[in-house]
Structure 1
Amino acid sequence: MHVSNRVEFGHLIDNEEFNLVPLNPELWEIEKNRWDWERRYLNPGYLEVVEANSTVEMPCPDVYWFPVFTERFSQEMITTFEDFGKWSDGTHDDGRLEGGYESVPTVDIHMKQMGMEAEWLEILRSYIQPLQLKVFQGYNNEVGPPRAIMNFMVRYKPDEQPFLRPHHDTSTYTINVALNRPGDDYQGGGCRFVRYNCSVTDSRVGWVLMHPGRLTHLHEGLPTTHGTRYIIVSFVDP
């Protein structure tokens, strides 16, 4: 018998309890079939940027940019959430929240509504927390995923909700994932950090923008003037 570990001949797939209900069910396979999930959805640049000595882009003070997801992930997330279709109305009254009130409302769908909360927390633990430790040291939850109770996709449209007023996030740090491309899919949009008068408008599909949530980084969503802009937001308290 000849045995070699230099050639890959295949791998095992766990297809038990594969959920055929949602559109693009492979998005839910991060824990059961991680190897395939990473091949589909993890940006090839992620492994380079997560290295200890890698350079991290900082488009605004203490605002960092990382390649995390592929364009396939971004597009499938958009189509899956749009197929689900239960967008909030963007008002302060929000029955999904304890107390029923949202101080800074957006038109959004929560990960919990999609049955994707556990998978998203695993993404935060496996792929986002290692990046956070590179730039915001001293925050580390070693016994589980980062604490994040607000995880959702936001939709900006000129005739629906084109912008978001200046606000602080209820988080230690926030991530903002760009899901589509400015100039091609929509016009306008972006995030402006008021204290620094610094804006990030040239979003990159699948890239994560990470910034402090409270005190220093008052920010606003700039007006989307044409098309539809999609982002994923998580408020994280490690």
Structure 2
Amino acid sequence: MDFGHLVNSENFNIRNFHPDLWQMFDNRWDWERAYLHENYSQSLNESNKIQMPCPDVYWFPVFKERYAKEMIEMVENYGRWSDGSHMDTRLESGYENVPTVDIHMKQVNYNDEWHEILRAYIQPLQLRVYDGYFNDPPRALMSFTVRYRPDEQPALRPHHDTSTYTINVGLNRPGIDYQGGGCRFLRYNCSVVDTRVGWTLMHPGRLTHLHEGLRVTAGTRYIIVTFVDP
């Protein structure tokens, strides 16, 4: 702690855009200092109340703004966004029922790292709010970064997710980087529009939480979406 520490550079790949994003396995301490929200651990304290902006919808600080910024830059550097149509060759079925303009974690070789994030940081939060449900490790067949903008795909129709629960990570600032946007849960007539950079929204995927993506009227909105335990 006083004189510095050793790092493992064996798997440091400079071909990755923002290669530090991939270092959670080899250099976990440094990764957490760089990317994990400084208030993350407070959500694990049973004496702290978890924010619930809509019924059974919870909010947690998980990532720092640096993580959000670098994830946006990484996917935009990759640049191969889907066209938002139902036909999607990335999927085994070749068909997406509720398509978005997105890039899958698999496409940017970040799937293993993202699954470790689900196991190490998201699952402990899930255990706090959805008592009695435990699936270790959590599974995710669909994890992707979504882009909403007025001239491309501004909104998303009402739908259920193919998941036990879904996480939605805000990557940029409403009212500054974009106007409009957010998520509305139809059954409860409840919307979450003041999303926070690096915060994770968690909600059930099926039956009770029919939801829609509200229209972005200006700028570009970025989120990470993961369907956990389909």
TM-score under structure 2 normalisation?
0.98
- What residue is the counterpart of 2:131 in the other structure? 137
Structure 2: runs of 5+ lacking an equivalent: none
Q: 1:195 aligned to 166, 177, 187, which one? A: 187
Structure 1: runs of 5+ lacking an equivalent: 1-6
Where in structure 2 are the equivalents of 1:159-174 lying within 5 Å? 159-174=151-166
Where in structure 2 are the equivalents of 1:172-187 lying within 5 Å? 172-187=164-179
Distance in 2 of aligned mates of 1:197 and 1:52:
29
Q: 2:220 aligned to 224, 228, 231, which one? A: 228
Distance in 2 of aligned mates of 1:54 and 1:208:
17
Where in structure 2 are the equivalents of 1:207-226 lying within 5 Å? 207-226=199-218
Post-superposition offset of 1:8: 4.1
Q: 1:47 aligned to 20, 23, 41, which one? A: 41
Higher Cα Rg, which structure: 1
The count of corresponding residues between Structure 1 and Structure 2 is 230
Does 1:27 pair with 2:12? no
Taking only aligned residues, the RMSD between alpha carbons, in angstroms, comes to 1.0
TM-score under structure 1 normalisation?
0.95
Q: 2:110 aligned to 109, 116, 123, which one? A: 116
Distance in 2 of aligned mates of 1:17 and 1:198:
45
- What residue is the counterpart of 2:50 in the other structure? 56
Distance in 2 of aligned mates of 1:150 and 1:32:
25
Which one-letter code corresponds to 1:202 in the other structure? D
SS in 1 for 2:41: helix
Distance in 1 of aligned mates of 2:71 and 2:188:
32
- What residue is the counterpart of 2:83 in the other structure? 89
- What residue is the counterpart of 2:99 in the other structure? 105
SS in 2 for 1:155: strand
Which one-letter code corresponds to 2:149 in the other structure? K
Q: Percent identity among equivalent residues?
A: 68
Does 1:72 pair with 2:66? yes
Distance in 2 of aligned mates of 1:26 and 1:159:
33
SS in 1 for 2:122: helix
SS in 2 for 1:199: strand
